[in-house]
Amino acid sequence: MSSSAFNEDQAIAFLQRRDLTAEMLTSLARNPEAVKSRKVVLALIAHPRTPRHISVPLLRRVLVFDLVQVTLTPTIPADIKRAAEDQLLVRLETLSAGEKTTLAKRASGRVAGALLQDEDSHVVAPALDNPQLTESLLIQALMKPRVPATLFELASEHRNWCLRPEVQLALLRSEKTPPTRAQEFASRFSQEVLESVLPESRKGLMVPDPPQT
């Protein structure tokens, strides 16, 4: 398909075919008119036979919320989804607070986990509510050295996460967790467990075990 003959509708229809070869898809991706079209670029990325050396660079041309769609589309290969997530992570610092808030609600768990490190509670709160966020990703965020206190405050009060024992232990490891919540979490664990997780400055949360009768 030459540049002079390029037609977006024809290109989209062309990309619906599953008998296309890697050479045919590469040829279309090298058409300068084709890659100006948002729809064509997305269809090229989504096509199962588009070579990785073509589809991954095309992700740099994709808008933020189109990248989100790529990461959440079941039929797109896992390595392409991860490359799309990488693009989103690179762009986080350039986004407005409103865009981050929307992204926190809709993005994949990995991106939501990165947004937990934001200082704005309006970003962190929806990231905690994101259905793609896993316990493992939340604990990873809580264990990072320079996470704002906002995450500890919101996670310790969250209706779901604050009930998880492993999350409670991660919260207990940090002095950023509000003292009243830390005291409550500490009361649910044995002396032995607390000894292994509490920083020295928080050993006062430990309550001696009652004497054996």
The confidence score (pLDDT) of residue 31 equals: 93
Question: Is 80 among the domain residues?
Answer: yes
Question: Is 53 among the domain residues?
Answer: yes
Q: What is the mean pLDDT of the chain?
A: 92
Q: How far is CA 89 from CA 46, 109, 111, 125, 136, in A?
A: 20, 12, 7, 18, 18
Distance CA 44, CA 158 (A): 40
Give 195-207 pLDDT, tens digit per residue.
988 887 777 776 6
Question: Is 206 among the domain residues?
Answer: no
Average the pLDDT over 85-114 and give the result.
96
Question: How many folded domains does the chain comprise?
Answer: 1
- CB atoms near residue 81 (< 10 Å): 18
Question: Is 43 among the domain residues?
Answer: yes
Strands (E), the chain: none
Domain that holds residue 43: 19-91
Distance CA 150, CA 56 (A): 35
Average the pLDDT over 135-160 and give the result.
96
Q: For the packed helices 149-157 and 179-186, what is the interaxial angle rounded to 10 degrees?
A: 50
The confidence score (pLDDT) of residue 160 equals: 96
Distance CA 36, CA 153 (A): 45
Distance CA 162, CA 152 (A): 10
Number of H helices, E strands in the chain: 14, 0
Contact (CB, 8 A) for 29 and 20: no
The confidence score (pLDDT) of residue 148 equals: 95
The pLDDT confidence band at residue 211, using thresholds 50, 70 and 90, is very low
Average the pLDDT over 110-132 and give the result.
97
The pLDDT confidence band at residue 33, using thresholds 50, 70 and 90, is very high
Question: Is 27 among the domain residues?
Answer: yes
Question: Is 47 among the domain residues?
Answer: yes
Phi, then psi, of 56 in degrees rounded to 5: -65, -50
The pLDDT confidence band at residue 2, using thresholds 50, 70 and 90, is very low
Question: Is 105 among the domain residues?
Answer: no
178 vs 203, residue with greater confidence:
178
What does pTM read for this prediction? 0.85
Question: Is 48 among the domain residues?
Answer: yes
Average the pLDDT over 97-122 and give the result.
96
